[in-house]
Amino acid sequence: MKALLTGNEAIARGAYEYGISVAAAYPGTPSTEILENISKYPEIYSQWSPNEKVAMEVGVGASIAGARTLVAMKHVGVNVAADPLFTAAYSGVRGGLILVSADDPGMHSSQNEQDNRHYAPFAKIPMLEPSDSQEAKDMVKLALEISETFDTPVLLRITTRIAHSQSLVELGEPMEREIKPYTKDAKKFVMIPAHARTRRVFLEERDAQLATFSEQSAANFVEMRQQSFGIITSGVSYQYVKEAFPQASVLRLGITHPIPKQKIMDFANEVDTLFVVEELEPYLENQIKALGIKVVGKDLLPPYGELSVSLLQKNLGAYLNVANPSVAVTTEQSNIMQEVQQPFTAPVRPPVMCPGCPHRGVFYVIKQLKLVVSGDIGCYTLGTMPPLEAMDTCICMGASISAAVGMEKANPELAGKLVAVIGDSTFMHSGVTGLMDVVYNKTAATIIILDNSITAMTGHQYHPGTGKTLMNEDSPTVDFAALAKSLGVRRVAEVDAFDLETVKKVIQEEVAAPEPSVIIARQPCALMLKGQTEAVVCEDCKACRVCLRIGCPALSFDEEGKTVVVNKPLCTGCNVCIQICKFGALRKGGA
């Protein structure tokens, strides 16, 4: 039986079919749905971890205990998990261990763009790259077999288009889950220097064995067509190549570390002009050039952003016609090339906070107080957008608090003018360590934890502060106030995020205090409460437009009628706008 699955769903299905017993992750787009779908299979223990480093360590431990294991994260998460990953490359595995890295070319939902293929040769672990959902599932099996055969974690690298695109997948029956018998093996799993030195040699021997495997693997295959030009590619780029140049000969690499050098040289000898089509860095291109092979790649294609069919046809097609007039693109391709040269006229739709978002009022107050804001990653990052524009920095997960320490230490005049904002999930991820630093290094930083009781931006995942696990079981709930006090913060305040007067008063008091303080601003995510309250109504509007300064999508202005209009289907009745209207024109629905 076949089913239409996204790449993320297919990886989850592969975990179910091929004997994965443990799965761990921290949610991050585009990887989030992998664990959400794995959690639908009760045969697999699955969990959200506070951050990616913890998830990786959970995975390594499960593998050592004998279970087939999968760990998933977005590309920047691998930076967080790199420490245990690199040591796990030394220790190897007992049960097969897969790390899924979901890269985000084009930065659809990320603070940077990085090509995580480089992690594979860096850590000296094998890497697989599926080109569609069927391969995403199949490569879970292949990765587990490689992992257990060659005693190594395996990097399964996908990109946003693979993660979220759908294609047909053949479903199979699950194999029996086995936990290998545990036996102590300190020389393998205790990486003291004496043991690690032995394993360091093993890494080189393993890489050589994997190179031989890569030469013979069906995951790397040739589709030979016309010989005037050939293309080496991998991942989703293979799909673009097939659509853009159906007449081209193609070497598709499913194993991109180690690369099959002899297979590449043989293919290069069969074609007149050789291209490498790959997103982001010239990862394959540089390795192929190192083999002494003339190849065209990043001369024509950008080392950033996503590729597309039209981009390939435009750039490679133009090169082929100029460099080799006997090689012509088809009429259809020529038409597409002309189309892609037309300006893109779709209207720009900047992201905004949801109607009723509890973060909006806090940022409105912060802007009123003209504070410097050290920001973080999450829904609240949108506080940097107009009309709020209430954020000065945003670096990475958990960095708001520690960056505020640095800002205050570097410029003491900022003390009393500076706040760090962080969401509840991000605080769990890696904000706690920053708060320790605030106390330990004696700063007067004010930390505002925007607690909407969920990991909202990635789609409502639980975390240790929510009282629920991924498998929907009740669990102890982290008490943010008690945690802050246990770290040495003496000033801890809890406020209703919708009570603007109180929010303003508390922020003023805590920023003025000459010691660390934590403000916990609470209201659940608006999407969790939508439809539970009456929409706001507007009557006798004075057309001052002050309410529009909070940037709520549920409010607009009717120029002809000279009045603010409330979009009732959007309005959640948070009543923040009512507190801002000086004329009482905005009122509670039903009042």
150-161: per-residue pLDDT in tens? 999 999 999 999
User: Residue 25's beta-bridge partner residues?
Assistant: 48, 72
Out of 320, 348, 379, pick the residue that ends a domain: 320
Is 571 assigned a ligand-binding role in the annotation? yes
Q: Tell me the average pLDDT across 261-280.
A: 97
Q: Are residues 542 and 511 located together in one domain of the fold?
A: no
| Res. 325: pLDDT tops 90 | no
Out of 320, 335, 369, pick the residue that ends a domain: 320
| Res. 37: pLDDT tops 90 | yes
Residue with tokens 């804001």: 373
- CB atoms < 10 A from the CB of 459, how many? 13
Is 354 assigned a ligand-binding role in the annotation? no
Q: Are residues 401 and 498 located together in one domain of the fold?
A: yes
351 occurs within a structural domain? no
Is 577 assigned a ligand-binding role in the annotation? yes
Q: Are residues 316 and 379 located together in one domain of the fold?
A: no
131 occurs within a structural domain? yes
- Tens of pLDDT, residues 528-553: 887 788 899 999 999 999 999 999 99
Q: Are residues 224 and 169 located together in one domain of the fold?
A: no
Read off the tokens for 527: 């999407």
Contact 260, 241 (CB under 8 A): no
Q: How far are the Cα atoms of 147, 152, 154, 205, 474 from residue 210, in angstroms, in the given order? A: 11, 10, 11, 9, 44
Q: Evaluate the omega torsion of the peptide bond into residue 387 and state whether it is cis, within 30 degrees of 0.
A: yes
Q: What is the pLDDT of residue 540?
A: 94
Q: Are residues 269 and 164 located together in one domain of the fold?
A: no
Q: Tell me the average pLDDT across 25-52.
A: 96
Q: Are residues 12 and 160 located together in one domain of the fold?
A: yes
| Res. 326: pLDDT tops 90 | no
Residue 351's pLDDT band, with cuts at 50, 70 and 90, is: confident
Q: What is the pLDDT of residue 323?
A: 57
Residue 253's pLDDT band, with cuts at 50, 70 and 90, is: very high
The CATH number covering residue 252 comes to 3.40.50.920
Is 525 assigned a ligand-binding role in the annotation? no
Query: What total number of domains does the chain contain?
Result: 4
The CATH number covering residue 451 comes to 3.40.50.970
Q: What is the pLDDT of residue 333?
A: 53
334 occurs within a structural domain? no
CA dihedral in degrees (134, 135, 139, 140; nearest 10)?
Answer: -30
Is 574 assigned a ligand-binding role in the annotation? yes
Question: Mean pLDDT across the chain, nearest whole number?
Answer: 94
Contact 210, 126 (CB under 8 A): yes
Q: What is the pLDDT of residue 589?
A: 79
Q: How far are the Cα atoms of 32, 72, 442, 457 from residue 417, in angstroms, in the given order? A: 36, 39, 17, 28
Is 541 assigned a ligand-binding role in the annotation? yes
Q: Are residues 274 and 313 located together in one domain of the fold?
A: yes
- The whole-model pTM stands at 0.91
Q: How far are the Cα atoms of 31, 104, 235, 303, 355 from residue 162, in angstroms, in the given order? A: 10, 10, 8, 19, 31
Read off the tokens for 198: 């032995």
Q: Evaluate the omega torsion of the peptide bond into residue 246 and state whether it is cis, within 30 degrees of 0.
A: no
Q: Are residues 236 and 161 located together in one domain of the fold?
A: no
- Tens of pLDDT, residues 171-214: 999 999 999 999 999 999 999 999 999 999 999 999 999 999 99
Q: Tell me the average pLDDT across 563-591.
A: 91
Contact 306, 277 (CB under 8 A): no
Domain with 288 in it: 220-320
| Res. 332: pLDDT tops 80 | no
The span from the CA of 29 to the CA of 369, in Å, is 33
Is 538 assigned a ligand-binding role in the annotation? no
> If you count them, how many residues does the chain have?
591
Contact 169, 13 (CB under 8 A): yes
Q: What is the pLDDT of residue 338?
A: 56
Q: Are residues 155 and 274 located together in one domain of the fold?
A: no
| Res. 344: pLDDT tops 70 | no
582 occurs within a structural domain? yes
Q: What is the pLDDT of residue 431?
A: 96
Is 379 assigned a ligand-binding role in the annotation? no
| Res. 591: pLDDT tops 60 | no
Q: Are residues 227 and 142 located together in one domain of the fold?
A: no
Q: What is the pLDDT of residue 318?
A: 86
Q: Are residues 510 and 581 located together in one domain of the fold?
A: no
Q: How far are the Cα atoms of 6, 255, 277 from residue 131, in angstroms, in the given order? A: 12, 11, 13
Closest CA to 580 of 547, 549, 551, 556: 547
Out of 142, 177, 212, pick the residue that ends a domain: 177
Residue 461 gets which letter from DSSP? B
The CATH number covering residue 567 comes to 3.30.70.20
Phi and psi at residue 438, to the nearest 5°: -55, -45
CA 92 to chain CA centroid, nearest Å:
26
- Tens of pLDDT, residues 457-512: 999 999 999 999 999 999 999 999 999 999 999 999 999 999 999 999 999 999 99
Q: Are residues 259 and 309 located together in one domain of the fold?
A: yes
Percentage helix, strand, coil for the chain under 3-state DSSP, each rounded to 5: 40, 20, 40
